[in-house]
Amino acid sequence: MKNKTVLKRTVALLLAVIMLFGLTACGGKDEEETTAPVTTTEPATTAAPVAPEQINRLTGLATLSKEAYGKRPVAIMINNVRAALPQYGVSKADLMFEVIVEGGITRMMAVYGDYTKIPNVCSIRSCRYYYPILAYGLDAVYICFGSNETFGTPTLERLGIDYFNGAANYITDLFGRDSARLQKYSKEHTAYVKGENIPKVFESKKIRTDYSEGKNVPIFNFREEGKAVASGDTNCDKVRLNFSQSYYSTFTYDAEKKVYLKQHNGSVHRDSVSGDQLNYTNVFVLETDVKKHKDNYLMKVELKGGDGYYISMGKSQKITWTKPTEGDTIQVFDSTGAPLQVNPGQSYIGIIAPESTKITGENPVTTTAATTAAK
């Protein structure tokens, strides 16, 4: 009897063990698949690579629309006398030139790297011969409203540059008179460019929009976007360019925005449509021979080269510059003679007589001073 009982218990135990292993064998795989952590490989989050054709060659920034890939910039003459202020459309320029003209006043040339995104620009004014030479070096289409017949028009024709002169050929799709400004400004301060119509006007007039061979390259040796550097041995909080006794431009550093804010003769230089004060990552001061022409009232400005300053990120450094031929861009070099490294962003270029610039904040940064500050 006892043996039977032991046998029954042994059989029951064996059956229990068999059932246990059976359940584990049947359900183990499914249970493992549903309870084990699921591992997935997510692609690393990185910024989309920037295609070379996206880079605006005037700023070094990836801002071009697809329609503007490989396309030429546009240079527009800007009226800069006090009676014409405020202008509009000027805060959007990627590159701004300012040079003296007759009577001690200055005129500006706004250059836009994306011809499909140019706003309306007002007020525009006439050509002086050195401006189309600057535009020609950039392979830009040049737009003005009037031209000096002594040197301006002959230079345009000699260069063979693509240009539109609203005073000589008023294309209604391209030029207009600002009706609101006509109520309170003299007529010569009311002409504007219809920016959004530029692509269709270029197409209708069969203007070449692609860069010439070898021209679709950055105009400066730009640093990589997002890697701006405060280089230079002189602190620069403020710089003043004295173009004449009556006209000067001042730039004040905004340390938070890391740009230089422009003032026109001591007043905020503002775009009346965007509301923005003109501001630039880079300020170039290019010194050259500037004098009144011996035969008339016009100015003569040499564009071959000279000394100057590069101002950016609160620092100033001495540079040299050259423009080897009329078809070349302006080339800038540091104190060692190497191509200057330039921070990406909008740039202002003031072309001015030597010893006409005042830099405030001239506190040389030396190794000793830096070490003392660190302690």
Whether the bond between 86 and the residue before it is cis, its omega within 30 degrees of 0, is: yes
Q: How many percent of the chain have pLDDT more than 90? A: 81
When mean pLDDT is compared across 28-37, 49-58, 253-262, the lowest value belongs to 28-37
Q: Could you tell me which residues are beta bridge partners of residue 311?
A: 283, 316
- Per-residue pLDDT band at 28 (split at 50, 70, 90): very low
Q: What is the number of structural domains in the chain?
A: 1
Q: What is the pLDDT of residues 194-225, one digit of tens each?
A: 999 999 999 999 999 999 999 999 999 999 99
Distance CA 257, CA 279 (A): 10
Give me the residue label for tokens 């710089």: 239
Select from 233, 226, 286 the least CA-distant residue to 258.
226
Give me the residue label for tokens 């000394």: 307
What's residue 205's pLDDT? 98
Max CA-CA distance within the chain? 141
Is residue 88 situated within a structural domain?
A: yes
Is residue 199 situated within a structural domain?
A: yes
What's residue 362's pLDDT? 55
Terminal Cα-to-Cα distance of the chain (whole angstroms): 97
Is residue 314 situated within a structural domain?
A: yes
Distance CA 96, CA 284 (A): 10
Distance CA 141, CA 319 (A): 29
Give me the residue label for tokens 């109520």: 183
Select from 247, 241, 233 the least CA-distant residue to 260.
241
Is residue 307 situated within a structural domain?
A: yes
Q: How many percent of the chain have pLDDT more than 70? A: 83
Q: Using alpha carbons only, give the angle 118, 124, 125 rounded to the nearest 5 degrees.
A: 145
Select from 64, 61, 38, 140 the least CA-distant residue to 97.
140
Distance CA 153, CA 131 (A): 11
Q: Which two tokens stand for residue 307?
A: 């000394």
What's residue 345's pLDDT? 98
State the residue range of the domain holding 181. Answer: 54-360
Span 53-73, average pLDDT: 97
Decide which of 193 and 371 is more confident.
193
Q: What is the pLDDT of residues 67-115, one digit of tens each?
A: 999 999 999 999 999 999 999 999 999 999 999 999 999 999 999 999 9
| Contact residues for 54 (Cβ-Cβ < 8 A; gap 6+) | 62, 63, 64, 69
Distance CA 371, CA 5 (A): 94
What's residue 164's pLDDT? 98
pLDDT over threshold 80, residue 24: no
Is residue 154 situated within a structural domain?
A: yes
Q: Which two tokens stand for residue 280?
A: 């630039």
Distance CA 84, CA 103 (A): 16
Select from 269, 71, 139, 112 the least CA-distant residue to 196.
112
Is residue 213 situated within a structural domain?
A: yes
Q: Could you tell me which residues are beta bridge partners of residue 270?
A: 277
- Per-residue pLDDT band at 46 (split at 50, 70, 90): low
Distance CA 72, CA 35 (A): 61
Span 252-256, average pLDDT: 97
What's residue 9's pLDDT? 52
Q: Could you tell me which residues are beta bridge partners of residue 218?
A: none
CB 92 within 8 A of CB 166: no
Distance CA 349, CA 319 (A): 13
| Region for residue 23 given its phi and psi (left: phi exceeds 0; alpha: psi -120 to 50; beta: otherwise) | alpha
pLDDT over threshold 50, residue 27: no
Select from 178, 202, 47 the least CA-distant residue to 115.
202
CATH of the domain at 218: 3.50.90.10
Q: What is the pLDDT of residues 164-175, one digit of tens each?
A: 999 999 999 999
Distance CA 375, CA 372 (A): 5
* Single-letter amino acid, residue 303: L
pLDDT over threshold 50, residue 6: no
pLDDT over threshold 90, residue 39: no
Crossing angle (nearest 10°) for helices 130-137 and 152-159: 20
pLDDT over threshold 90, residue 374: no
Is residue 89 situated within a structural domain?
A: yes
pLDDT over threshold 70, residue 32: no
How high is the mean pLDDT of the chain? 88
Is residue 131 situated within a structural domain?
A: yes
